[in-house]
Structure 1
Amino acid sequence: MNITNLVPDSSGLVTWPTLSVNRKSVVTVGSFDGMHNGHRAVIGRTVELANDNDAFSVVILFTPRPGVIHQYAKTHHGEQAPADITDPEQLMGIDQRLRVMAELGVDHVLLVQYTLAFAAKSFRFFLGQLVGKLGMRTLVLGQDAHMGAGRTGDVKAIENLALATGVFELDIVDDRGPGYTRIPQDISYAAPQEPGEPKDPTDGMTKAQLRAWSKSHQAKQARVWSSSNVRYLLSQGRIKDANAILGAPHGIEGTIIHGEQRGRNIGFPTANLDTAIDGYLPVDGVYAGWLVDLGEPDNDTANAANATNAITEVGGITPAASIPQPLDLTSVRSRLAPHSPYRWPAAISIGTKPTFETGHGEPERVVEAYAVTDDWLDLYGHRVRVEFTGFLRPQIKFDSVDALKAELAVNAKQAEEAAQDAQ
Structure 2
Amino acid sequence: MRRSVVAIGNFDGVHTGHQQLLRTAVEHAQELGTEREPLQVIVVTFWPHPMSVVAPGHQPLLLTSLSDRIDLLRRYGADEVRVVQFTRDVAAWSPQKFVDTILGPLDPAVVVVGENFTFGNRAAGTPQMMREFGKGRFDVDIIHLVSIDSERTCSSFVRSALATGDVAAAARHLGRLFRLSGVVVVGDQRGRELGFPTANLPVAADLATPADGVYAGWLRRLDQPSAIRMPAAISVGTNPTFDGVERRVESYVLDRTDLELYGINIAVEFVEHLRGQVRFGSIDELIEQMNKDVAATRAVLGID
**TM superposition score normalised by structure 2:** 0.91
Equivalent position of 2:268 in the other structure: 386
Whether 2:289 is the aligned partner of 1:289: answer no
CA deviation after TM superposition for structure 1 residue 282, in Å: 1.2
2:241 pairs, out of 333, 355, 361, with 355
* Residue 366 (structure 1) shift: 2.1
Q: How many residues align?
A: 298
Partners of 2:205 and 2:217 lie apart in 1 by 17
Q: Which residue of 2 aligns with 1:170?
A: 140
- Contact kept in structure 1, 2:148 and 2:173, CA below 8 Å: no
Residue 20 of structure 2 is matched in structure 1 by 41
Q: 5+ unaligned residues in a row in structure 2: which ranges?
A: 34-38
TM-aligned CA deviation for residue 247 of structure 1: 0.7
| Cα displacement string for residues 53-86 of structure 1 (whole angstroms, at most 9, x for unaligned residues) | 22110001101111121112x89xxxxxxxxxxx
Give 1:393 shift.
0.5
> Secondary structure of 2:27's match?
helix
Q: Which amino acid aligns with 1:229?
A: F
What corresponds to 1:106 in structure 2? 78
From 111, 116, 119, the equivalent of 1:147 is 119
Root-mean-square deviation over aligned CA pairs: 2.2
1:230 corresponds to: 158
Residues 252 and 277 in structure 1, CA contact (< 8 A), matched pair in contact too: no
Structure 1 stretches lacking a partner, 5+ long: 1-19, 76-86, 182-223, 296-330
CA displacement at 1:125 relative to structure 2: 2.1
Task: Tell me if the contact between 2:95 and 2:124 (Cα under 8 Å) persists in the aligned partners.
Answer: yes
1:273 to 187, 197, 201: 201
- Structure 2 Cα separation of the partners of residues 95 and 102 of structure 1: 11
Q: How far apart are the structure 1 equivalents of 2:105 and 2:18? A: 25
Amino acid at match of 1:398: F
Structure 2 Cα separation of the partners of residues 256 and 57 of structure 1: 35
Instruction: Provide the rounded CA distance (Å) in 2 between the counterparts of 1:271 and 1:278.
Output: 21
After superposing on structure 2, the runs of 4+ consecutive aligned residues of structure 1 that deviate more than 6 Å are: none
Residue 327 of structure 1 is matched in structure 2 by none
Corresponding residue for residue 243 of structure 1: 171
Q: Compute the displacement of 1:375 (Å).
A: 6.0
**Cα deviation, residue 178, structure 1:** 4.6
- Distance apart, 1:131 and its partner CA: 5.0
**TM-aligned CA deviation for residue 374 of structure 1:** 3.4
1:265 Cα deviation from its structure 2 partner = 0.5
Q: What one-letter code is carried by the residue in structure 2 that aligns with 1:228?
A: S
- Percent identity, aligned pairs only? 35
| 1:253–1:277 contact (8 Å) kept in structure 2 | no
Q: Map residues 304-383 of structure 1 onto 2, 5 A cutoff.
A: 334-335=225-226, 340-341=227-228, 343-357=229-243, 363-374=245-256, 376-383=258-265
Q: Which amino acid aligns with 1:170?
A: V
Tell me by how many angstroms 1:291 deviates: 1.2
Shift in Å, 1:280: 1.2
**TM-score normalised per structure 1:** 0.66
Matches for 1:17-166 after TM superposition, within 5 Å: 20=1, 23-54=2-33, 55-72=39-56, 89-130=61-102, 132-162=104-134, 165-166=135-136
- SS in structure 2 of the partner of residue 257 of structure 1: coil
Contact preservation (8 Å) 1:252, 1:280: no
Q: Is the 8 A contact 2:197 2:257 kept in 1?
A: no
The residue identity in structure 2 corresponding to 1:63 is: W
C-alpha spacing 1:368/1:102, structure 2 compared with 1 (3 Å): same
Higher relative contact order (CA 8 A, sep 6+): 1
* Aligned CA distance change for structure 1 residues 408 and 51 (closer, same or farther; 3 Å): same
